[in-house]
Amino acid sequence: MKADDSGQPDRRARFRNYFVYVLRFPKDESRYVGQTDNLVRRIRQHISGRVCFSRNRKPFKLIYVEGFATRSEAVAREKYLKSRSGRRYLDRVLYK
């Protein structure tokens, strides 16, 4: 944990307000990578069919979550996980 100028731990470093998540759809073996500031609400949106990608692919499993202090960090990580090297990373981590 980082310390600020007073030597105290940076409180923001402890709180994870943004999340990157990966859903897996067994129906067609596809994955969905997304980011949100409210993971529970976003999963409920997937369940209720309010997300086009997951609407006709249910059921799904939440297989990966990472927390971040800022939205820009979460967006950057989401972008990486959607890239070719990010997909390889997920394959390596999730399907050992």
Per residue in 31-70, pLDDT tens? Answer: 999 999 999 999 999 999 999 999 999 999 999 999 999 9
Identify the pLDDT of residue 84: 97
Identify the pLDDT of residue 95: 81
Backbone angles phi, psi at 3, to 5 degrees: -110, 145
Domain formed by 15-94, architecture = 3-Layer(aba) Sandwich (3.40)
Domains of the chain by residue range = 15-94
The answer for residues whose C-beta is within 8 angstroms of residue 33's C-beta and 6 or more apart is 20, 21, 22, 78, 81, 82, 86
DSSP state, 3? B
Number of H helices, E strands in the chain: 4, 3
* CB 57, CB 36: distance < 8 Å: no
Calculate the dihedral angle through the C-alpha atoms of 31, 32, 37, 43, rounding to the nearest 10 degrees: -80
For residue 5, pLDDT over 60 is answered with: no
Q: Which carries the bigger pLDDT value, residue 96 or residue 53?
A: 53
